Structure 1
């Protein structure tokens, strides 16, 4: 075995690929410290995204890489520190580090279900998470979170406190109006309502805010791109051709307003019969993955068409919250880590200058 040095260890780690970022640990700047004490190699990793359920697996990958190069004894520690990332040039939202828009080109593809489970999955990985329901005409998050009968409390500053649900900070127009009341509003009223929900809520130390977008490319999406600091967008689609066409429009819209696309989620990818185990691709096969390749973006993962996923949100206990050890939860957590990992590669926000008062 060659003499162990910090440079030698760093060279080994430069060949260890983090599956959540697609980059090696060195170039993605996740190495905090390396030290060699006699024959013991100490490596301290500081990830820029939450990955509590991935630490042991990553630790094993690092130990194996070191062992192959003749390192017999190693001590690997892994922690996370989530920074703020650059947005499209809009002023930061107080109390919120990163905003991720979850969007689709059309309704009915499971975008809201994906959004709430993605938020819960990020929380399970160790992040402080909020979810904003931006669908003014058809808010669904209050029911999905099981808090449709709650109302926001007023803060000391006269703003609203977010409604807590399953450990998430949440806000929706659905908390302020009756569930059965239609929102018969024109575009300007909708955009004003969205701004007020965002800016008149006292968010507290949020690492990631998930915004559940309405379908399409209308007023709400335009407001989001012009007035809300968005770190990145996730596109949800099904493999069906008509859904992919509309999803492509949504993706193109975000690109035009300089909001990075973090990747594509293919929902309702496959159905497995609970009685006989027969697998059937009801909406087609591989459309989301093909779209990601064509658009030169990331394919984040595929989710099944499964009865429990639908009934869980109808009951107010999304799958990740209801059954944290299920296979479906593992899928959502894997997607969440990829979303956060890909975002971690973006430039960090330098922050605003402090206010200076001269007396």
Structure 2
């Protein structure tokens, strides 16, 4: 039987819903922040709930110490293909049979990785060693709130504290085995609760870097600049940016045309302006959507697509950036 979300995630010992800008019941500002004025939970937060260092952090650090590379996939805007790219990045890494890969879906309100990785309808199991991820290949496991929902159409209507509790459980309780080479974390758009939680909980163990996904239009780049600023403020190294949907590839003639034309130079110019590695451009191919809907590897089904070649080139560039990052850390030590 699949575990349900624990009491830690669902119950915060509060007598009323948290206000919109609640600092969280475990925060040092709980009961003291401006948002707490007039809140029915103010007395509970200021006197009864524990404060200080989170006792779960040592457990999280111990779990994450068994993972070599921890990567966040970010986008400032929804609809740029971030989850699609996360799924293809996971498939591409797992194509190397010597690697153990994990994919974690932190888009709590809109989990889509289970469908894209062919695990929709599966359940996770709980044992003394923790939650077992769902394996879509011998060396590719994944974790998502989708596996805990009673119905795939169920809406997750949670405030920040409950989201934070579930993210903590994913990092603390999921048993990835004795060793994981890559953990690819798919985050929702923006710079909100999920991003703050994962960066806080993973800070001590270290996030190896972030991959940022955008499309060529300035509307997308406006939000990407905010995501880049978030990474800088959170101390997360940006491994690079990939420009998705940079053109359209005809499956028949293999001809390519621009659909979303860059009006300000696109992702490559943004990277040049901000001194960020540009990992490459990925064209549109309608068969990518088909592969994601069917939960199969795009590379296995359509290896001849220019989009497949472009994605694999981006993955190679990403792994090169990881090696450069590791080399620089070694030199600094």
Question: TM exceeds 0.5?
Answer: yes
Q: Distance in 2 between matches of 1:97 and 1:334?
A: 22
**1:240 lines up with 2:210 in the alignment:** no
Q: Distance in 2 between matches of 1:276 and 1:121?
A: 25
Q: Distance in 1 between matches of 2:285 and 2:305?
A: 13
Q: Distance in 1 between matches of 2:90 and 2:253?
A: 33
2:251·2:285 contact (CA, 8 Å) conserved in 1?
no
SS in 1 for 2:131: coil
SS in 1 for 2:242: strand
Q: Name 1:221's counterpart in structure 2.
A: 195
Q: Give TM-score scaled by structure 1 length.
A: 0.68
In the alignment, which of 239, 243, 247 is matched to residue 266 of structure 1? 243
Q: Distance in 2 between matches of 1:321 and 1:181?
A: 32
**1:296 lines up with 2:275 in the alignment:** yes
| Cα distance, 1:326 vs structure 2 | 4.5
Q: Distance in 2 between matches of 1:309 and 1:231?
A: 28
**1:206 lines up with 2:180 in the alignment:** yes
1:120·1:321 contact (CA, 8 Å) conserved in 2?
no
Per-residue deviation, residues 238-289 of structure 1 (Å, max 9, x unmatched): 0011001101111110111111000000000001344666533111135011
1:103·1:215 contact (CA, 8 Å) conserved in 2?
yes
Per-residue deviation, residues 300-351 of structure 1 (Å, max 9, x unmatched): 111111100111101111313434564433322221121121111224789x
Structure 1: stretches of 5+ with no match in the other structure: 1-89, 351-359
Change (3 A) 1:275 1:208: closer
Q: Name 2:153's counterpart in structure 1.
A: 180
Q: Distance in 2 between matches of 1:180 and 1:273?
A: 33
| Cα distance, 1:128 vs structure 2 | 1.6
Q: Distance in 2 between matches of 1:273 and 1:143?
A: 25
**1:192 lines up with 2:169 in the alignment:** no
Q: Name 2:318's counterpart in structure 1.
A: 339
SS in 2 for 1:160: strand
In the alignment, which of 121, 142, 158 is matched to residue 114 of structure 2? 142
SS in 2 for 1:98: strand
More helix by share: 2
SS in 2 for 1:170: strand
Q: Distance in 2 between matches of 1:94 and 1:206?
A: 10
Q: Name 2:123's counterpart in structure 1.
A: 151
Q: Distance in 1 between matches of 2:90 and 2:218?
A: 27
Larger Rg: 1
Q: Give TM-score scaled by structure 2 length.
A: 0.73
1:319·1:328 contact (CA, 8 Å) conserved in 2?
no
2:284·2:307 contact (CA, 8 Å) conserved in 1?
no
In the alignment, which of 112, 115, 120 is matched to residue 86 of structure 2? 115
Q: Distance in 2 between matches of 1:326 and 1:271?
A: 11
Q: Name 2:286's counterpart in structure 1.
A: 307
Q: Distance in 1 between matches of 2:166 and 2:324?
A: 33
1:118·1:335 contact (CA, 8 Å) conserved in 2?
no
Q: Name 2:44's counterpart in structure 1.
A: none
1:323·1:329 contact (CA, 8 Å) conserved in 2?
yes
Structure 2: stretches of 5+ with no match in the other structure: 1-59
Q: Distance in 1 between matches of 2:287 and 2:124?
A: 29
In the alignment, which of 99, 117, 135 is matched to residue 164 of structure 1? 135
